[in-house]
């Protein structure tokens, strides 16, 4: 059997460019070279693609059998690249266009969660024009509906880039300025004091499966960018110290979240457990971190699926999803 040509797509114009480089290197190193011919495709920070991809060999076309996007954040995890791959009729790992887009947008994502009856924290959306034109009214609205503490986040970004925990009124304006420097809208959520953080990995297409659950004890006050990717002081507790009912609830919610946004391939779902014992859905990441210390592959490894086998399964699911799409009618005749 000839080797499958796997294009690993990484880098890109996102604020998570550096995270993508780390994740992609781990994926490239772990792909079985006996099965795959691995073709790294790095997109520069300014959005430039390699020449051989822009101008492929006319006798071979792209030469790719499947694409593995490891593009975190905007211009990669938000449906834009997925749309390009659909146009090129190439199989690719992970969620489709619509699923990627709504999962990237923290406001739209939560709306779908609510529609499915999943528990979420109260939130508000602030657009950049609102903040420019009516800052006092924005502050009043947030203080009345959410109160302190609150978390301010760019609506379309991940890895805790641009996220601030706001405890006092004087911290709110700088937090909104920061979040809106990354996106045209910010999501502001009610903060939870003393909540514990959990993550669950989901794998599949039509019948998703949930991994065991892990708990994160961040090195910093919350699980920010530095705590995720630079500090070795954050604790990842696998399996999470939960009772059986709590574990099953998180796993059930994780699969419901996956289906609510019509995800495919992979997704890491994040949760809070408040001091009253209520489990709350935070968000889903459709291209979760794949570094050596990332929770998505670690949770599957502890569930009995090693890193290399996980990559094999994701590629199988990509090909399965592509076959399913190819079987659809594209003409009324």
pLDDT at 230: 53
pLDDT of 229 > 70? The answer is no
Residues serving a catalytic function are 16, 159, 229, 268, 270, 283, 285, 289
Read off the pLDDT band of 59 (50, 70, 90): very low
CB distance 107 to 187 below 8 Å: yes
Percent of the chain past pLDDT 70, that is, above it, reads 92
CA–CA dist 25, 36 (Å, integer): 15
For 168-194, the pLDDT digits (tens) are 999 999 999 999 999 999 999 999 888
| Lowest mean per-residue pLDDT among 44-58, 206-220, 314-328 | 44-58
pLDDT at 54: 46
Q: What is the average pLDDT across 228-247?
A: 83
pLDDT of 40 > 70? The answer is yes
pLDDT at 202: 98
CA–CA dist 232, 217 (Å, integer): 11
SS3 sequence, 179-202? HHHHCCEEEEEECCCCCEEEEEEE
Q: How high does pLDDT run on average in the chain?
A: 91
Angle formed by the axes of helices 169-182 and 135-145, nearest 10°: 110
Specify the pTM.
0.89
- Annotate 137-172 with b (16+ C-beta within 10 A) or e (fewer): ebbeebeeebeebbbbbbbbbbbbbbbbbbeeeebb
**139 SS3 class:** helix
Q: What is the average pLDDT across 255-281?
A: 96
For 83-117, the pLDDT digits (tens) are 999 999 999 999 999 999 999 999 999 999 999 99
Using the structure block, give the residue that is written with the tokens 């291209």. 287
pLDDT of 253 > 60? The answer is yes
pLDDT at 226: 56
Q: Which residue has the higher pLDDT, 293 or 316?
A: 316
Phi, psi dihedrals of residue 134, rounded to the nearest 5°: -140, 60
Q: Is-cis flag, bond preceding 294, omega within 30?
A: no
């Amino acid at each position: 059997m000839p080797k499958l040509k796997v294009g690993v797509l990484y880098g890109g114009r996102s604020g998570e460019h550096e995270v993508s480089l780390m994740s992609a290197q781990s994926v490239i190193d772990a792909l079985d070279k006996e099965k795959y011919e691995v073709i790294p495709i790095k997109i520069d920070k300014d959005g430039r693609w390699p020449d051989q991809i822009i101008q492929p060999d006319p006798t071979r076309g792209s030469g790719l059998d499947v694409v593995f996007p490891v593009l975190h954040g905007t211009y990669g995890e938000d449906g834009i690249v997925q749309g390009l791959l659909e146009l090129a009729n190439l199989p690719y790992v992970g969620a489709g266009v619509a699923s990627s887009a709504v999962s990237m947008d923290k406001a739209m994502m939560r709306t779908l969660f609510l529609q499915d009856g999943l528990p979420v924290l109260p939130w508000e959306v602030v657009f950049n024009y609102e903040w420019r034109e009516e800052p006092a009214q924005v502050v009043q609205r947030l203080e009345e509906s959410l109160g302190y503490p609150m978390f301010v986040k760019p609506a379309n970004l991940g890895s805790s880039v641009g996220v601030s925990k706001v405890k006092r009124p004087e911290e709110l304006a700088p937090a909104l300025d920061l979040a809106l420097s990354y996106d045209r809208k910010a999501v502001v959520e009610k903060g939870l004091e003393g909540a514990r953080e959990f993550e669950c990995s989901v794998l599949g297409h039509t019948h998703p499966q949930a991994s065991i659950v892990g708990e994160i004890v961040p090195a910093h006050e919350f699980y920010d960018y530095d705590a995720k990717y630079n500090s070795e002081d954050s604790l990842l507790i696998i399996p999470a110290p939960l009772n059986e009912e709590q574990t099953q609830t998180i796993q059930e919610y994780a699969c419901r979240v996956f289906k609510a946004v019509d995800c495919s391939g992979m997704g890491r779902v994040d949760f809070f457990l408040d001091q009253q014992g209520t489990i709350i859905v935070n968000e889903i990441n459709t291209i979760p971190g794949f570094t050596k210390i990332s929770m998505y592959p670690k949770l599957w490894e502890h569930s009995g699926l090693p890193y290399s086998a996980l990559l094999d399964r994701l590629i199988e699911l990509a090909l399965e999803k592509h076959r399913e799409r190819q079987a659809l009618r594209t003409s009324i005749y």
